[in-house]
Amino acid sequence: MQNSQDRGELARQYEKLRLRFFFGETFLSLCVVGVFALAGPSKWLVAALQPAMGDGYAAAIVFTTLCLTGFTQMFLPLDYAGGFRMEHRFGLSNHKLSGWLADQGKSFALKLVLTNVFAVTLLALLRNAPQTWWIWAGCFWLVFGILLSHLFPILVM
C-alpha cells in the first residue's frame, strides 16, 4: 500500500497533467473556433447549405449539427488521452473502452439537443427582436441555466 506522501505526489502529478490538458484544449478550441468563424470555413458552409435549405431554422439545425460533429470528432483523440487514458494511468477508473465510448455518445447527443435549442432560439430572437435580441438571449440563457442546474442532477446524473 502506498503511503500518504506517495499518494500526495501522485495527486500533484495528476492535477498538473489535468491542468496542462485543460489549457491546451482550451487554447486549441479557441484557435479552431476562431479560424472556423473568421477565416472562411463557416461562410463556405453557410453558402453550401443555403441553396438547398434557405436560411431558416432547418438550416440552423443542420449548420449547428455539422459544426458540433466536426468539433467533437476533432477533439475525440484529446478527450481519449485526457480522459480515458489518463484516468486509467492514475488508477482512477476501471471503465472499459466500450463504456467510455457509450458515455461519449450520450454526451454528444445531449450537447446536440442543447446546442440546437440554443441555435434555434437565438435565430428566432434575431428575427423577432432585432434591436433587443441580446437582452432576451441573456434572459433565456439565465432561466435555462437555472432550470438545467436543477434538472441535471435528477435527469442526467
Provide the pLDDT confidence category of residue 41 given band limits of 50, 70 and 90: confident
SS (HEC) of the chain: CCCHHHHHHHHHHHHHHHHHHHHHHHHHHHHHHHHHHHCCHHHHHHHHHHHHHCCCHHHHHHHHHHHHHHHHHHHHHHHHHHHHHHHHHCCCCCCCHHHHHHHHHHHHHHHHHHHHHHHHHHHHHHHHCCCCHHHHHHHHHHHHHHHHHHHHHHHCC
pTM of the model: 0.82
Query: What is the pLDDT averaged over residues 78-102?
Result: 92
Q: What percent of the chain has pLDDT over 90?
A: 64
Write down the pLDDT at residue 59.
92
